[in-house]
Amino acid sequence: MEQRLSVFCLGTGDMARARRFYEGLLGWTPQQTEGITAYYLGGMMLAIAEHGELAADAALGAQAPAAGYRGFTLAHNVASEEEVDALLTLVEKEGSTYGAQLVKKATRAPWGGYSGYFTDPDGNAWEVCFNPFWPLDEAGRIKI
C-alpha cells in the first residue's frame, strides 16, 4: 500500500453550517458541492459528508460522535509563531459567528513548536502550529 492519504472524510451534523465555517471563516473554495462538499488540499481532498451518510457508507453505526476527544486532531501548520497568533486571534474574534471556538491559546511546546487549538462547528479539534523541524515549501506543503 503506497504511503499516502487521498481523502480525509469528515462527518458533519449540518452541511450548511460546515460550509459557512470552511468558506466564510477560513476562506476556502470547494472543488465539489454535490452530495459531499470537497475541498482540494493539494494532492488530497477534505470531503465533508453528513454523519449518517458517511457512517452508512463505512457500514458503521450512524450516531453522531460524542463531544470531546475523538481520537484525532487536524493540524494546519504555518511558517511562524506570528502566523499562529494571527490565525488564532481571527478565530477568537470571529469564530463564534461560524460555530468555531478557541479551546487552547498558543503555547510553546516542550518539543520546540508553538501551537494552539480551536474546534470547528462539529466539535473537531484543529491545531494551528509552527513546527520549526518540519519546514514548509512555497505551496505550504511539508518538505522533508
Residues of the shown chain interacting with a copy of itself in the complex, contacts defined by CB under 8 A: 1-11, 25-29, 31, 35, 39-47, 51, 54-55, 57-66, 68-77, 87, 90, 103-104, 109, 111, 117, 122, 124-125, 127, 129, 134, 136, 139-144
Shortest Cβ 72–a copy of itself spacing (Å) = 5
Q: Check: CB of residue 76 under 8 Å from CB of residue 90.
A: no
Shortest Cβ 51–a copy of itself spacing (Å) = 7
SS3 25: helix
The single-letter code of the amino acid at 33 is T
Shortest Cβ 85–a copy of itself spacing (Å) = 13
- CA 110, CA 99: separation in Å to the nearest integer? 30
Select 37 or 117, whichever has its Cβ closest to a copy of itself. 117
Q: Check: CB of residue 139 under 8 Å from CB of residue 42.
A: yes
